[in-house]
Each structure stands twice: as C-alpha cells, then as structure tokens.
Chain A
Amino acid sequence: MYGWTGKILRINLTDRSVRFESTNMKDAQLYLGARGLAGKIYIDESDPMIDPLSAENKLVFCPGPFTGTFAPSGGRYHVVTKSPLTGTITGANSGGSWGAELRYAGYDALIIEGKSEKPVYIWLKDDKVEFRDASHLWGKWVPDTTDMVRAETDLEAKVACVGPAGEKQVLFAAIMNEMHRAAGRGGVGAVMGSKNLKAIAIVGTKGVKVADPKAFKETVLASRALLKAHPVAQGLGLYGTDVLVNILNTIGSLPSYNFQDGYFPTADKVGGESLRANQLVRNKGCYSCVISCGRISKVKSGPFAGEGEGPEYEAGWSLGPDCGIDNLDAVIRSNHLCNELGMDPISFGSTLACAMELFNTGVITLKDTEGVDLSWGNAEAMVEMTRKTGLREGIGNKLGLGSYRLANSYGHPEMSMTVKKQEIPAYDPRGVQGIGLEYATCTRGGCHVKGYTISCEVLGCEPKMDPRVTTGKPGLVKAFQDVTAAVDAVGGCIFGTFGMGGPDYATMLSALTGMTYTAEDFVKVGERIWNMEKLYNLEAGFTAADDQLPTRMTTLPIKTGPAKGEISHVPEMLPEYYKLRGWDENGVPTKERLQELQLA
C-alpha cells in the first residue's frame, strides 16, 4: 500500500481501550486524508445533534498523504470535531512536525473518543500506546506541559497539548503542537480539555511508502523549486504574513475598532516591516516547508518583554487595529500569551474588541471589568485580559465564551463580529466582496483560509479581480473553497497554492499513491469534502439564514480611508453561489449534485 498506511488507531478514554483498525481504502481514495478523511470518519460516526463538550463527541486527527514526505509545505495534520463555539463541524489544521510524527507512527487517523475520569495524557510510540496520569500537568501552560511530557517520555517526542484555556473550555481554545503551532480555530482545544486529555506525545519510526519514488522525487523537486522561486514565497520568508497589515490598510479594508471602521492610520506600527526591523529573531518553517513564514519574536525590554512565536497577520490585526492598538510589543506579548495559554488569537482579539466596544459605549463599566480600563487602544489592558480569558478569571470567564455569547449576554448582539458564532478574520468584507461571501458560507463559520479569495482580489494573483465588485465572485469563492479543501486533504499548506496548481498536486499525488488523479479529480475531492461538511451542518440544524455576515457589514459603511462608503453585498451574491454549487435556493445540495460527487 502506498500513500496511506492502511491503519487507524482508535483510543477510548472512558474505558481506556485501544483498537487498531484498517483504513477504509475507498474512503481514502475519495477523501484522501487530513480534513477529508478525518471529516468522513467523524461524520460517519457522530450524531450532529450531540453536545460538543460531552463524552459523545470525538476528535479525529489525520495527517494527509503528503504529510511526512518532502512534498513542499506538505507537513500538516487536521483535527476534526463538532465545534463548541459554532455547533458546526470544524476542522483545524496545524503545521510543525506533529502530523508527520503521527504518520511515521503508522497511522492514517487517530480517533479519540469518550472521556477520561481523571487528567491523562497519551504516549504513543509506533504500536505502543500508554495512558499516563496527567494530574501533575493539569493547570500547566503549554511550554511547561510540552517540556515535562517530553522529559517523561522521549526528548525527541512531538507533543500536542492543551493549555489552561483548553482545560477550562474556553470556546476558542486551541490544540498546540511543539509549543507554538496551533490547530487554532473552532475550539478543538476545548473538546480535548473536556475529555480530560492533556497531551498526546508521539514518536514514530516508520517511513512513508511511495509508489513511484523516481517520479515522486522529480515532481516534488520541480514543485519545490517552483514554489521557492515565487516572489510571494520570498516575501513571506522575509516579512511573514504580518506584511499584509499595510496592504490591507492601503486599500481601506483593515478592520479597526471592532469593525466600526476599515482603516487604521497608524497600522504601519504593527505591520510585518516593523516586526522585521524591531522584534524578529529569525524566521522558522514547518516540516518540509520551503517558505518559512513563521516568526520567532522577542521583545527585549519593558512591560511586554518576552520571547516566543508570532504574530501572524491575523493576530497582528486582532490584537492590534481591531482593538485600536498600535503597540507592537504589546501585540507580540499578547500573542505569546495566547500560545502559552492555548487559545486562538483571532477569536480572542475580536472578542476583546467586542468587549471594548461594550465598554466604550457604556454598556459595561469598570465594575463589570473589575477595574480593567477597556478603553480603545489600552495595550496593558489587552495583555491583562489575555491572561484573564485564558484562565477564565473575572470577566475573562465571559470573554472565554466568544463575542457572540458575550455581546448577547449584554443585549447587544450587533456588536459581535461573527458568522455562525465564530469571529470573522482580518479582511474587511465591505471593501473586499469575495472574502465576505467566503466568511458567510464557510462550513466552519467565519473563516478566511478555507477560501482565500484575497489572493486574486488584493494580492495580484491571477485571475486578478477588483475587490469592490461582486461580478464573478461566487465562482471565485467556490473555486477557492474546493481547491483548498483538496489541498487540506493531502496535508498541504495553502501557501503552496501560490506556486502550485491542481495539476502539480495531482501529479505528486499520483506518483505517491500509485493511483491516477487528474487535476479535475483533485478538485472534485475538494468539492466532495465541502458538500459533505455542508450536509453535516444541515443535519445539525443550520439553514440559509446562517449564511450571513454580521448586520454591521451590510448596513454600516466604512467610515474613513480609501474604501469609505463601502458595504458588503453578500446577500446579492448568495443565490448565484448556491446555484453554482448545485444547491437549491435554501442552500441544500440537490440529489443530482450529491450523486455526481458520490455522496448519495
């Protein structure tokens, strides 16, 4: 067998049973791995109506066929579960090397089910599985947890764990691997914490079998060279993703003050250029990456001193302009704290921005915040609230539920910038129309990376499209969503798509697995995954009414900057999007389309 190991590991935390099962190879061929295979396994086994934080929920971890090979930027894993934040299916993916280690241990999937009575961690070395007491680790932050688990198991072990945020079920808690890499969105860490599962440490000693090593090597080397030479890859290595702060601000689509505006005059202070000049120690890559966009950053002195990783663009924005903050030292410190506590900085920053709006409009006062001044731009307060939220202390307890629940608890749902209760990211959909449609329709709630139309709408990739127009955007969104789902399913990073297209992925996949995949087959895998996820959400009770942006995006024009006066036109684009997807006017996939995709 090539490309897959043919083996799945199922661990039940309730009765501490371990089962080795065979991979359903038909599913593997149709869904590949990572987001696709994990989603297929999860959906086949799970009732969409369960409580995400109950023992009935499961976590399915999957590397992709590329994971553990030297395919460019192909070292990722996905973890799929029902999100406690959104109630949708969610798939969070992460780089680093943990996914490759899972592959080397010999598995196409790791299924975690049930709930441990006491804190526990899993020590996995190839076929050997141990349950170890984690009582002494409970309450430890991510760096200490990682170091202690490695010391107790193997210093070479790759560790994925939750921090206090996961233990305390912050609804946007992340699963952190190798300290700094995050399966960040949707609260997958809260699900892991709800199971009393503190960490999974892995050492794998097996390789990945390749069907046609010569052809695989040739096509991988060609793809690596193609990607490495691409100007975007070079820029990412130099400046990281935070370089986007200035370009989004230049077009007037950098959300500020909880999306009350789309422009931030001092944005340059928190951009990638400033980071490179002042706090960057060096860049860092994930397994088999040719780009190395990761930032190791250090604030040398002052109240925000510390060293860690980040920020990415999203954190640079959410902890910066969205809270009216232009102090990059504070943004970095808060980002480091998010990593150490184990929570998603996008949802945290946006939730804090919501709290700041509640405070600045007088809905909440110093009494509600236990004396923390949440005035716009208060960098010290942001850092303090990061800690309070991760530990669910004081008002941090409410922030830990996300902005939808926070805003609703004070009777102001209009201040939550969410889709399906997940905080929308750093591209203002009033100034960039296509990404708004992606936010509205994404199967895991407000999200940019599952359909990154910004490439064509802002960053100059072909086909270049005017960000302010709606014409052609439904097709663009669908195309990006389908390709991205397929790239996710092989274990790839979306940055690979800047230099590689469907034919490149299909050629590598064919050489790796020995099966013949055309570019069309590859994209079809992605469309199948998207529809599978959509069907789950429909069964979980979501409707077309949930495919909407926050009302502010369609009613409150951007106030200042180059995109002044713009609003989002998602409602006008949605019918065409449904039609292109082969869905009816209610956003329900037709029987014909499902049959075509082998989903019915």
Chain B
Amino acid sequence: MIIRYFADVRDLTGCKEEPWTKAAANLRELLKELVAKHGTAFEKRVFEGCDLSSTIIIFINGRDVTHLKGIDSPLKSEDVVAIFPMVAGG
C-alpha cells in the first residue's frame, strides 16, 4: 500500500508519501496505525471522536471514501490512499 499526504498534512507526517506494509483490513485500522506513527497532532487532524474529521478528505485509488464505505472502507495491499485537508480553488 502507498500512503500519500498533501498540503499541511505533510507538515504532520514529515513526508509526501510512504509505503505501508502492515496489514490493515480497512481505513479505520490504517488510520490508527498511522496515528501510532505520526502522533497526536495527526490524530486530531484525521479523527473527530471515532469518525473521520469533517475537515479531511481521504481517497482510496482516487475515490473519495465518502462514496465508498467511509472510515470502514476496505483496503487491499495494492491500494493508494491519499489524505488531504479540505482545500478549495477556482
């Protein structure tokens, strides 16, 4: 699995992307693993209680998890996960 970070999420992880070899059956499990690695600031950025933060957007293979199964979206070892803050433009 490859995890990619964007905008100020990169400031919390210190990297643009990282390979991920630990098993994670779904997004929730993956995020818990990532919190364990990147700490409480990252945790506050991605979680609101047990749910995904409303200020974060996560894509699995280019699909917003909102349109999949949210934080319970299943993951496979070849997936690409991208984590963005809410951003905008024009």
Contacts and interface: CB of A to CB of B under 8 A. Distances in A.
Interface of A: 231-232, 235-236, 238-244, 246-247, 250-252, 268, 272-273, 312-314, 448-449, 452, 454-455, 458-460, 464, 466-467, 494-495, 498, 561-563
B77 interface: no
Interface string B46-68: 00000000010101011110110
B5 to A, nearest CB: 10
A562 B67 CA distance: 15
Contacts of B64: 251, 458, 460, 464, 466-467
A459 B8 CA distance: 16
A467 B67 CA distance: 9
Contacts of B14: none
18 contacts: A232-B87, A235-B85, A236-B87, A238-B7, A239-B7, A241-B90, A244-B87, A244-B88, A247-B6, A250-B6, A273-B10, A459-B88, A460-B86, A464-B64, A464-B67, A466-B64, A467-B64, A562-B61
Nearest to A263: B62
Closest 7 CB pairs of A and B: A562-B62, A241-B89, A244-B89, A313-B89, A466-B67, A231-B55, A232-B88
A138 B82 CA distance: 50
B23 to A, nearest CB: 23
B89 A242 contact: yes
Contact of B57 (A241, A247, A449, A498): A247
B88 A252 contact: no
B16, B64, B67, B88 — most chain A CB neighbours (10 Å): B88
Contacts, number: 89
Interface of B: 4, 6-8, 10, 16, 55, 57, 59, 61-64, 66-67, 82, 84-90
Given A460-B57, A460-B64, A561-B62, A494 B90 contact: yes
Nearest to A313: B89
Tell me the interface secondary structure of chain A in the complex.
helix
B62 A251 contact: yes
A494 B4 CA distance: 29
B62, B82, B86 — most chain A CB neighbours (10 Å): B62
A435 B41 CA distance: 35
Nearest to B54: A460
A57 to B, nearest CB: 28
A246 B16 CA distance: 11
A268 B16 contact: yes
A397 to B, nearest CB: 30
A563 B59 CA distance: 13
Contacts of B82: 250
A247 B16 contact: no
Contacts of A563: 62
Given A235-B87, A241-B89, A466-B67, 18 more contacts: A231-B85, A232-B88, A235-B8, A236-B88, A242-B89, A243-B87, A250-B6, A273-B7, A312-B89, A312-B90, A313-B89, A313-B90, A448-B90, A452-B90, A459-B87, A464-B66, A494-B90, A495-B88
A168 to B, nearest CB: 28
Nearest to A246: B6
Contacts of B4: 250
A399 to B, nearest CB: 24
A313 B63 CA distance: 21
B13 to A, nearest CB: 13
A370 B67 CA distance: 50
A449 B89 CA distance: 10
A498 B88 CA distance: 9
Nearest to A291: B88
A562 B85 CA distance: 20
Contacts of A467: 64
Given A250-B4, A273-B10, A459-B57, A239 B87 contact: yes
B63 A247 contact: no
Contacts of A495: 88, 90
A281 B86 CA distance: 23
Contacts of A268: 16
Contacts of B6: 243, 246-247, 250, 273
Contacts of B89: 236, 240-244, 312-313, 454
A314 B64 CA distance: 22
B66 A272 contact: no
Contact of A250 (B8, B55, B59): B59
A228 B9 CA distance: 20
B2 to A, nearest CB: 12
Given A243-B7, A273-B10, A235 B88 contact: yes
B86 A231 contact: yes
Contacts of B90: 241, 312-314, 448-449, 452, 494-495
Contacts of B88: 232, 235-236, 241, 244, 455, 459, 495, 498
Contacts of B66: 460, 464
A495 B66 CA distance: 23
Contacts of A455: 88
Contacts of A240: 89
A117 B75 CA distance: 69
A347 B8 CA distance: 31
B73 to A, nearest CB: 14
A320 B6 CA distance: 19
Contacts of B84: 246-247, 250
Contacts of B55: 231
B51 to A, nearest CB: 14
A171 B7 CA distance: 36
A235 to B, nearest CB: 5
Nearest to B53: A231
A562 B68 CA distance: 15
Contacts of B7: 235, 238-239, 243, 246, 272-273
Nearest to B62: A562
Nearest to B8: A238
Contacts of A498: 88
B55, B67, B89 — most chain A CB neighbours (10 Å): B89
Nearest to A268: B16
B8 to A, nearest CB: 6
A317 to B, nearest CB: 10
A561 B88 CA distance: 22
A495 to B, nearest CB: 7
